[in-house]
């Protein structure tokens, strides 16, 4: 069966133009990543999880995650926390920031998050999880989605028990990553559970986990009945996998790889500032230049350079033709100033009162 990933679907009343979703990933899903994902075929992109406590305390770095670019829509911003009132307030901020969907994190397995009663630990307290969804769904007029694991313990089927309840509480879509929290990223995602969840709820389900190619995307969509597949790790430094999943069969040239990387670097510097971007980008050098695209020592060399500026010069020296690809990309790129800035958030919500 050949499934058309260019088919649109609806998350609440938000139209999603393709059946491919870019995963939220902490330390990865910056604006540059999301904008790139949209250009390469993702119909929906998502911010990394944003701390509700950080929003409450008006932490500057946290508020930076609420910056929305005009070319990102439709965009989900994901929040995590465990207090209904704080979640509701954060959701209102997300709405004011211009996101299309509020996503709630019920899947993070990291101790720092679960010990606060947030993330995957919510799967062990279904009543509270429902209260959180209800609080958020009541607070905003945006559709509310949530992303969860199969459960906390290995072999758990909690997602099947809690899923329909969360829908009843107001969730307009569920994303399932069918590994347990204990599993972290080991083993495989068991999409038989995704199929079961699809059969239990009337809202669209997004299938997350181990989708790394067009063949895998097709088989997950066909066997689960999910509305869309979500791609995470495979898209790190590799937007071309999104293009492949959407039906293209060309590998990028070295020039294309370098041009996309440089664009990503410039965007990230603009978003995070030169100092933060310099550390943040190091892992991306390996992701872009690996996969047999460039020799390993070249990546080592880039990582050791002191500034992003030097890294850009070194990349252009290695692939001079990338300059022309970059020029073309920049000419098609929207005005970076065309975004909602934090300053323009209503004062009553942003630091006001």
Residue labelled with tokens 């990503």: 264
Q: How far apart are the first and last CA of the chain?
A: 56
Q: Which of 232, 237, 239, 252 binds ligand FMN (CB under 6 A)?
A: 232
> What are the φ and ψ backbone dihedral angles of 214, each rounded to 5 degrees?
-60, -40
Can you tell me the distance from the alpha carbon of 91 to that of 141, in angstroms, rounded to the nearest whole number?
10
Judge whether 184 and 152 are in contact, CB under 8 Å.
no
Closer Cβ to ligand FMN, 178 or 319, answer by number: 178
Tokens read off for 127: 């009543």
Identify which of residues 23 and 315 has a Cβ nearer to ligand FMN in the complex. 23
Instruction: Tell me: does residue 237 bind ligand FMN (CB under 6 A).
Output: no
Residue 107 found at the interface with ligand FMN (CB under 6 A)? yes
Name the minimum Å distance from CB 297 to ligand FMN.
Answer: 25
- In the complex with ligand FMN, the residue whose CB is nearer, 48 or 312, is 48
Task: State the nearest-atom distance from the C-beta of 329 to ligand FMN, in Å.
Answer: 25
Q: Which is nearer to ligand FMN, 290 or 321 (CB)?
A: 290
Could you say which of 44, 48, 83, 258 contacts ligand FMN (CB under 6 A)?
Answer: 48
Q: What is the dihedral of CA 149, 92, 231, 112, to 10 degrees?
A: -50
Contact between 110 and ligand FMN per CB under 6 A: no
Q: Quick one: which of 105, 114, 183, 238 contacts ligand FMN (CB under 6 A)?
A: 105
Choosing from 46, 108, 130, 159, which is the catalytic residue? 108
Q: Residue 147 corresponds to which tokens in the numbers above?
A: 């992303």
CB 246 within 8 A of CB 41: yes
Round to whole Å and give the CA distance between 37 and 248: 15
Among 7, 10, 17, 26, binds ligand FMN (CB under 6 A): 26
108 tagged catalytic: yes
Residue of closest CB approach to ligand FMN: 232
Query: Computed from CA positions of residues 334, 338, 342, 348, in that sequence, does the dihedral angle turn out positive or negative?
Result: negative
Q: Which of 5, 226, 231, 315 binds ligand FMN (CB under 6 A)?
A: 231
Distance CA 100, CA 140 (A): 11
Contacting range for ligand FMN; rule: CB under 6 A; set: 25-33, 241-249, 267-275, 283-291: 25-33
Provide, rounded to whole angstroms, the least separation between the CB of residue 213 and ligand FMN: 11
Tell how many helices (H) and how many strands (E) occur in the chain. 16, 13
C-alpha–C-alpha distance, residues 240 and 165, integer Å? 37
* CB burial of residue 305 (10 Å; 0-12, 13-18, 19+): middle
Residue number with CB closer to ligand FMN (193 or 231): 231
Contact residues: ligand FMN, CB under 6 A: 23-28, 48-49, 78, 105, 107-108, 147, 177, 208-211, 231-234
What are the residue numbers of the active site?
Answer: 108
């Amino acid at each position: 069966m050949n499934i058309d990933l260019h088919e649109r679907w609806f998350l609440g009343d938000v139209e999603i133009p393709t059946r491919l979703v870019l995963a939220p990933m902490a330390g990865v899903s910056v604006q540059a990543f999301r904008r790139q994902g949209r250009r390469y075929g993702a119909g929906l992109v998502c911010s990394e999880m944003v701390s509700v406590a950080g929003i409450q305390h008006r932490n500057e770095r946290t508020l930076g995650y609420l910056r929305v670019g005009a070319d990102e829509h439709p965009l989900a911003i994901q929040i995590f926390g465990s207090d209904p009132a704080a979640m509701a307030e954060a959701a209102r901020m997300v709405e004011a920031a211009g996101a299309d969907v509020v996503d709630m994190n019920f899947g993070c397995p990291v101790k720092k998050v679960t010990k606060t009663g947030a993330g995957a630990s919510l799967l062990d307290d279904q009543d509270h999880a429902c209260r959180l969804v209800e609080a958020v769904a009541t607070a905003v007029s945006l559709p509310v989605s949530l992303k969860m694991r199969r459960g906390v313990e290995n072999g758990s089927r909690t997602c099947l028990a809690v899923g329909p309840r969360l829908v009843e509480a107001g969730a307009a879509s569920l994303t399932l990553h069918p590994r347990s929290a204990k599993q972290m990223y080991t083993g495989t995602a068991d999409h038989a559970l995704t199929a079961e969840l699809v059969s239990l709820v009337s809202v669209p389900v997004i299938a997350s986990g181990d989708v790394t190619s067009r063949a895998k995307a097709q088989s997950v969509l066909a066997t689960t009945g999910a509305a869309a597949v979500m791609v995470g790790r495979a898209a790190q430094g590799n937007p071309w996998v999104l293009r492949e999943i959407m039906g293209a069969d060309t590998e990028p040239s070295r020039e294309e790889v370098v041009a996309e990387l440089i664009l990503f670097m410039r965007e990230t510097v603009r978003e995070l500032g030169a100092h933060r971007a310099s550390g943040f980008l190091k892992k991306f050098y390996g992701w872009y230049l690996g996969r047999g695209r460039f020799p390993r020592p070249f990546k080592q060399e880039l990582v050791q350079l002191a500034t992003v500026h030097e890294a850009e010069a070194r990349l252009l020296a290695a692939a001079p033709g990338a300059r022309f690809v970059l020029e073309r990309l920049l000419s098609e790129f929207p005005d970076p100033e065309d975004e909602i800035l934090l300053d323009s958030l209503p004062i009553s919500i942003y630091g006001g009162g």
